[in-house]
Amino acid sequence: MQVNSDYFNGLIGASQTSTSQTAESNSTALTQEDFFSLLTQQLAYQDPFEPADNSEMVSQMTSFSTSEGINSMSAQLASLNEVMTSNQALQASTLVGQKVLLPSNEAYWDQSDAVDGVIVAGEGADNVKVRVEDGTGQLIREITLEGSKRGNVPFSWDGLKDNGEPAATGTYQFKVSALVDNQREDINALMFARVDSVTLSSVDTPTLVNLSGLGGVALSQVLEIGGRNTN
């Protein structure tokens, strides 16, 4: 379609000037109604010896509709993101005071509740031994689970050392080994921790659960919710 570009630009300028002077509307954006009004005027003032090309006219309308659709989709996605963020915040807030299972063999002992964990025994493991070590790597306690174990096996440490005295408050590592096919191998231990608070997500950081004695970890790392502490 051959259209006088100066005229077309003048129509846009006139439309924007009229809009800014009208008290009923504060928007200067080109709406769908404005677009079709301008298109109608283009057709009215077109050169009769070079009439509008149907394919080009359809292309213009399609481009505008696509732009409108993208803007609408962006607004809907932004709204959906707000809803999801609010829902995640509500779910995360219910974790405060709960014990959550994490993919870590570290746990914090505060001289109150027992420290709980899960041993990943897989297809089968015998004579499972759990070594409780302090921050320096010193052995504090060894716990033996007799018999054959399979799957995820819960265990607990009461916070006592081998001599029966309570261990000091702090972070401890739980290292597990077992007989697998008559060979002693290291196997994974997963530990529970208490959630003290929640830090909501932002543009650069995910939602964090702040764990007693351990700091913050991403909410996505929580494997299981184990209930509230009894203290």
Residue 16 has pLDDT above 60, yes or no: no
The three-state secondary structure class of 147 is strand
Rounded Cα gap, residues 31 and 68, in angstroms: 9
Identify the H or E element spanning 154.
Answer: strand 152-157
pLDDT of residue 21: 52
Rounded Cα gap, residues 190 and 223, in angstroms: 9
* CATH code where residue 167 lies: 2.60.40.4070
pLDDT of residue 32: 61
pLDDT of residue 55: 66
Query: What does pLDDT average to over the chain?
Result: 78
pLDDT of residue 124: 87
pLDDT of residue 29: 59
Which DSSP letter does residue 49 get?
A: T
Is 107 found in the same domain as 72? no
Give the residue with greater pLDDT, 4 vs 64: 64
Tens-digit pLDDT profile for residues 176-201: 999 998 899 999 999 999 999 988 77
Is 155 found in the same domain as 107? yes
Domain of 208, in residue numbers? 98-228
Which DSSP letter does residue 114 get?
A: P
pLDDT of residue 177: 94
Residue 9 has pLDDT above 90, yes or no: no
Is 116 found in the same domain as 84? no
pLDDT of residue 7: 42
Is 158 found in the same domain as 116? yes
Q: Which of 34, 61, 92 is the last residue before a domain boundary?
A: 92
pLDDT tier at 17 (50, 70, 90 boundaries)? low
Is 164 found in the same domain as 140? yes
Rounded Cα gap, residues 75 and 180, in angstroms: 56
Give the residue with greater pLDDT, 105 vs 44: 105
pLDDT of residue 95: 85
Which residue, among 190, 191, 189, 210, has the nearest Cα to 199 in the 3D structure?
210
Q: Which whole-number Å values give the CA distances from 103 to 87, 109, 126, 209, in the listed order?
A: 24, 17, 22, 14
pLDDT of residue 220: 86
Give the residue with greater pLDDT, 107 vs 52: 107
Cut 0.85: pTM above it:
no
